[in-house]
Structure 1
């Protein structure tokens, strides 16, 4: 039998809607071929273990090697393309909320539309989008595999050595990434999901790459919103991005502009500078940024970052080219498609004399209470169903020493629906 997510179910004596699943007969399988990699069945999302996925062949072409990540939308896999001599690639899986004919048709239309936009992107600092396809009611995006480390990983490595990124490093980092954003924004593409986890430094290279666009996630959110139309428990302004990094207009209204990416880039920059999470860098009373309490940099970089972090979109830089000009990058806006290898000929003068506050080595954190972790799993399952176990497990595997409030925030960031993410946090704060 197959269990397929059918949407939220309202029960009379339960306040929160619970996930409902439709039980369908299993597809006809050749019992003699189940263990064969050429015809191994691809188990439904949320029920297949990593062991059963190993060596599975998708679309008769992509052989699964391992799971790279999990989220509220589905899984991400490392695979090899058997029609390209075994070249490694990334398979991103998206699962529609229902198998109803309308939902499936709308899913394919929106997914193809957004995938076509991504396919047009040709930039050395953005992984190539190779193809998309549908199989067994799920949608897949095929992307170039980049071997390297995310800046979240690089930051953890630096903190273990007692220091975060320097102002000079962040200035160069901005100079490397701003031309990429300028290129995207001129194509009317907004990344929507910039964070240390979504910027990668490839092995043996010096230029960072932007990964994991939120564009297709937004399309999936539109599908879910259309499916749940008329359901007051589902927010129509779906949220794509990471809490703490996404700007207010993206969280509250689901609206994104080029300056929304600049805001997220600014948050990422101060996280790399200070080694602190965004919630720590915000004053709890005034809700204003207080990142300068952790690190002091030159006046120019301070002004640039603070303007990028302005709460109101109109108060920020309106284009990546404006930020490049403020940094002092020569010929920042002279090319319609910025070349990714732009560098400063010299460091910005106001940033070279950096006065850093000491950053203590990370202290050992107490192990999370298993009962609290189980509560997190239970509440998450109310929002997204059986994928909850995998998501919590993945978060704890990557960052095992989270504080309880950090675990709640990390889990909430994986919930596609903004209203459900907020309710999830409220439930855990109320106990």
Structure 2
């Protein structure tokens, strides 16, 4: 007959544990136990984190298995000595409970920091996330060298200590040793995690970890990549992935350079072997950003699509053998108002150099000759989409943007155009139209 589960109650505030630690408050709880803020009476009431290890649903018969797993976790934490990992202080058992004691990090999680940014209408910038990755990847390299996988990386488990600049990786209570070389001759760093310790946050953990319990260093890199795009976009992973194809669509919600996007996409590859295998590889590619040209995506070589909104301005081009008019002479008709506006050049005495050699082609096309990243079809598509939001001035905005940013990439070009749209939601919609 199976034993009924033993579920210990939450420890009340003010309780003294092990004649030393005074419980202050519950910090959090999950499938493996609870975390408390406590004061250490033998260290001048220094704050610390007390982790109660008590997997939910464990019966009396499984207590010994819990104890062995607890000892393994304590051994993992004991061997970690890194300034960006909370110090392991002690472990003990009392009243049928298993406890770990760790250094208390006085700061905010990146979930909290992101919420603060969003209240101001902001997310983390590309430069900030690149710097954040460069500060965290060495920490992952360190734990992976110690044959440890974190397996639960997310904005909740990365903190920025108060007054400090380097992020701290917390909550190794679910950490997993990659392999015990004394018990196995298998050199493959991927390992199977038993059902009892099958953990990982949905949306952040890769599919092989959630579905099969398989984890490797690339699993942590995947979760770190997801956390990075969440900081960039301010959106939950469930909103960043296509629900039908399960492909990442995070670029619809933020603007980053092509080089950085390629790095994040490789971190987010669904198949483990297609991802980065070590933190060093990611760091090496991050250092190369801006040092070489990234070829534009083939999505910019497709012909412009027709916008479907009924109120979308339609560009009218005379059906003659003459070349199309310049943007300044374009006639726009808005179906919603049925009004026609004819735009004439602002000056009849334009410089000869402006007209000679260019009157036989659209000005936007000529502008792209010095900009190999953007083709004429994509520029025309951008102009049509922008006209829907700001009207006939779109042609002038496109022309000026290209003139002032000759080496701009397609994504940067769209970002610059989006800034001309006053409403934030409309600017986001404009971006999604162009990249959908």
TM range (shorter): 0.5 to 0.7
8 Å contact 2:21–2:41 — kept in the other structure? yes
1:185 to 144, 147, 152: 144
Match of 1:67 in 2: 26
Q: Is the aligned partner of 1:201 residue 2:164?
A: no
What is the distance in 1 between the residues matched to 2:152 and 2:141? 16
Give the drift of 1:215: 3.1
Match of 1:239 in 2: 198
Bigger relative contact order (CA 8 A; separation at least 6)? 1
Match of 1:148 in 2: 107
| CA displacement 1:60-114 (0-9 Å, x = unmatched) | 11111111112222221000111112111001112254453x5222322221122
Match of 1:133 in 2: 92
What is the distance in 2 between the residues matched to 1:133 and 1:329? 47
Instruction: Assess, with a 3 A threshold, how the Cα gap between structure 1 residues 294 and 105 changes in structure 2: closer, same or farther.
Output: same
Match of 1:291 in 2: 250
Query: What's the TM-score once normalised by structure 2's chain length?
Result: 0.61
What is the distance in 1 between the residues matched to 2:71 and 2:33? 17
| CA displacement 1:331-356 (0-9 Å, x = unmatched) | xxxxxxxxxxxxxxxxxx99x96948
Give the drift of 1:320: 0.3
Q: Is the aligned partner of 1:313 residue 2:272?
A: yes
What is the distance in 1 between the residues matched to 2:84 and 2:288? 18
What is the distance in 2 between the residues matched to 1:78 and 1:199? 17
Instruction: Assess, with a 3 A threshold, how the Cα gap between structure 1 residues 216 and 262 changes in structure 2: closer, same or farther.
Output: closer
Match of 1:406 in 2: none
Equivalent residue runs for 1:13-412 within 5 Å: 20=4, 45-46=8-9, 53-96=12-55, 97-98=57-58, 100=60, 102-215=61-174, 236=195, 238-328=197-287, 355=415
Give the drift of 1:297: 0.5
Query: Aligned pairs, how many?
Result: 285
What is the distance in 2 between the residues matched to 1:95 and 1:117? 18
Q: CA RMSD in A?
A: 2.8
Give the drift of 1:236: 3.3
Instruction: Assess, with a 3 A threshold, how the Cα gap between structure 1 residues 47 and 88 changes in structure 2: closer, same or farther.
Output: closer
8 Å contact 1:130–1:144 — kept in the other structure? yes
What is the distance in 2 between the residues matched to 1:329 and 1:122? 30
What is the distance in 1 between the residues matched to 2:131 and 2:173? 25
Instruction: Assess, with a 3 A threshold, how the Cα gap between structure 1 residues 217 and 93 changes in structure 2: closer, same or farther.
Output: farther
Q: Say which SS state the counterpart of residue 215 (structure 1) adopts.
A: coil
Deviates more, 1:122-131 or 1:109-118: 109-118
What is the distance in 2 between the residues matched to 1:322 and 1:218? 22
8 Å contact 2:28–2:34 — kept in the other structure? yes
What is the distance in 2 between the residues matched to 1:164 and 1:80? 35
Query: What's the TM-score once normalised by structure 1's chain length?
Result: 0.61
Gaps of 5+ in 1: 1-5, 8-19, 23-43, 220-234, 331-348, 362-431
8 Å contact 2:33–2:52 — kept in the other structure? yes
Give the drift of 1:209: 0.5
What is the distance in 2 between the residues matched to 1:329 and 1:137? 53
8 Å contact 1:150–1:201 — kept in the other structure? yes
8 Å contact 1:282–1:291 — kept in the other structure? yes
Gaps of 5+ in 2: 179-193, 290-407, 426-436
